Amino acid sequence: MRKALGLIDRFRRDRRGNIAVIFAISCVPLITAVGCAVDYSNASRIKAKLQSAADAASVAAISQKSAGYIAASLMTTDGTIPAGVTDATNVFNGNVATIPGYAGLSVQASPTPTVTKTGIKLASNVSFTAQVPVTFLKAIGYTTLTVTGSSTSNASLPPYLDFYLTLDVSGSMGLPSTTNEAIRMQAINPDNFVQYPTGCTLACHFAPQKSACTDDSSVTPPTNYPANPPTNANYTQAYSTNSYCMGYSYSRVSQSALSNLLTMASTKTVPKQVPGFPTSMISGLPGSLNTDPKWGLPAVSSCPTAGTDACIQLRLDAVGYAVNQLLTTANSKEIITSQFRIGIYPFILNIDPNYAPLTATINGNPAVSGTINYAAANLATELDTNMDGNLGSGGTHIDNALNSINGLIKTVGDGSSSTKTLPYVFLVTDGAQDPQSKGTPNGGWSGSNHATVLSDPSNSYPNVCTTLKSRGIIVSVLYIPYQTINPVNASFANDEDDAANNNIPNIPPSLQACASPADAGGSYFYTANTPTDIQNSLNAMFNHSLQTAHITN
């Protein structure tokens, strides 16, 4: 007995086997913890894969050219986009099918996609839930781990926009486009030489005979003509032009050929004025400038480049060329068919609503008549010639033009569909509101010839800009600065020159007030002094409209 008690006491005091015992006892929770980590790691791996699939599905459902995106662009109301839901489901399922171990999930992931359209905004959400089977966690009563997640994406539809290009084609827009072009015009233009002996820069635009230009009807070169032209107030020309204004016609022909014709010597066989025309041509002017069988000069209908020998570029040439560049820009940025509609509405006393009305076909050839591109390229042909009864003549009635544009815009949408287009009015002008008018053709004058500004309360529609903006129409203004008349002829037309010059400081604030308030895209009031400025400004106005449409919808 004593021996047995000794063995027990020895066992009690001997600690050499504690580590093994403690390790054996600890194995159960250690193995359970490691197993849990393995199970959780596997579940996390699968969740990450599922999350990636959800991310891809939510983006794909509203990406450009996706079925959902195209379907949304054709919707005329807000709501769910079934094609986007289907697309999201298919993309999610296609991605998760490649996940290792996915087929063995006790409850496979079930996506719950939602794809909606609100205005031009698209939103997609893809959520998922899956049951991942476990191995080690079964020891503590778990058979699966639940993983969940979601992904949200947003996009904007391309806005449907209408652009009403309201273009000033009054006489002052027939000025040369640059200083150098003005110098070329002054050097060669015979019009109004008596009143403006330093050279007339306005391409005297009234087409009827004796409408704005008269001469002494001499067909025999007078002595020292035109160094000593007639000073009678009834005469205007530097030499005989059959009492027609020639400035516009001169701007359409080769300048070197014209100079050679006007300065060539007079001979017995070809008597002519020097400078001036062969006697045989005078009675046929202005047509004989282009049609005379021996001396006729081919004419161009547009002048896209300043400084070329083929023509003198006028402001309207520069504007028309810039409009064509805008059409090119619009084409390059069109995402869906008929996203943009553009119309060209020249105005003097009235707009011409039929010149190039609103159209979604904006990718025509500028050389092919009937396209809006051709209309833009040939904008200078709309210059006030006192012949177009639809446009009217003699003044610049910006208020009347904008009021007519307001009448053309029947509805104002948010740009979210082709039936809810958002309208923009692009006003391009030198800003001098001239309330006079001249009967066509070659009629009398009426109204004041002293220029005012658009906001003048004496106008027929002094608040027309407010009217447009209050309807939700965005007004963007391009100001091509009115040129100071120099020298001033104070005796001409009740001192019209001084009145025009004194009005110039009033123009910019009036046009700024007409433009829509600045927004995140910047100011809606632009100024352009050169053909390049005009082109850049029109493109900036177009890009501004795209940015604003995305921000506000």
- pLDDT score for 28: 56
- Find tokens 């476990």 and name the residue: 134
Band the pLDDT of 336: cuts 50, 70, 90: confident
Band the pLDDT of 56: cuts 50, 70, 90: very high
- Dist CA 350 CA 166 (whole Å): 11
**What is each CA distance from 302 to 247, 367, 370, in whole angstroms?**
15, 10, 16
Whether 113 shows a pLDDT value over 50: the answer reads yes
- Dist CA 488 CA 96 (whole Å): 81
Tokens, residue 225: 């003509």
**E strand or H helix at 426, and its extent?**
strand 422-429
**Among 181-195, 225-239, 466-480, where is mean pLDDT lowest?**
225-239
Q: Tens of pLDDT along 150-178? A: 999 988 878 899 999 999 999 999 999 99
The domain spans of the chain are 30-156, 161-175+314-552, 178-313
Computed on alpha carbons and rounded to an integer, the radius of gyration of the chain in Å comes to: 39
Band the pLDDT of 40: cuts 50, 70, 90: confident
- Contact (Cβ atoms closer than 8 angstroms) between residue 108 and residue 102: yes
Structure letter (DSSP) for residue 305: S
- Dist CA 67 CA 212 (whole Å): 63
Tokens, residue 153: 């994406």
36 versus 541: which is more confidently predicted?
541
- Dist CA 256 CA 271 (whole Å): 21
Band the pLDDT of 96: cuts 50, 70, 90: confident
* AA identity, residue 92: F
Whether 553 shows a pLDDT value over 50: the answer reads no
Q: What is the pTM of this model?
A: 0.81
- pLDDT score for 99: 79
Q: Tens of pLDDT along 193-236? A: 877 777 777 767 899 999 889 887 655 544 444 455 555 557 88
Query: Once rounded to an integer, what is the mean pLDDT over residues 363-380?
Result: 95
Q: May I ask the CATH class of domain 161-175+314-552?
A: alpha beta
Assign 106 to helix, strand or coil: coil
Q: In the β-sheet with 474-479, what is the strand arrangement from edge to edge?
A: 356-359, 340-347, 161-168, 422-429, 474-479, 525-527
Kindly provide the residue ranges of all beta strands, DSSP E only, lying in 96-206, ordered along the sequence: 112-118, 121-133, 144-156, 161-168
Query: Once rounded to an integer, what is the mean pLDDT over residues 423-448?
Result: 94
The neighbouring-strand residues paired with 122 are 117, 155
- pLDDT score for 223: 47
**What is each CA distance from 259 to 176, 187, 439, in whole angstroms?**
18, 10, 34
Q: What is the mean pLDDT of the chain?
A: 87
**What is each CA distance from 515 to 271, 350, 475, 524, 541, in whole angstroms?**
57, 20, 5, 6, 12
- Dist CA 205 CA 213 (whole Å): 10
Whether 262 shows a pLDDT value over 60: the answer reads yes
352 versus 65: which is more confidently predicted?
352
Query: Once rounded to an integer, what is the mean pLDDT over residues 12-26?
Result: 57
* Backbone conformation region of residue 201, classed left if phi is above 0, alpha if psi is from -120 to 50, else beta: alpha
**E strand or H helix at 422, and its extent?**
strand 422-429
Assign 36 to helix, strand or coil: helix
- pLDDT score for 19: 61
Q: Tens of pLDDT along 377-387? A: 999 999 999 99
- pLDDT score for 369: 94
28 versus 139: which is more confidently predicted?
139
- Dist CA 476 CA 546 (whole Å): 13
- pLDDT score for 108: 62
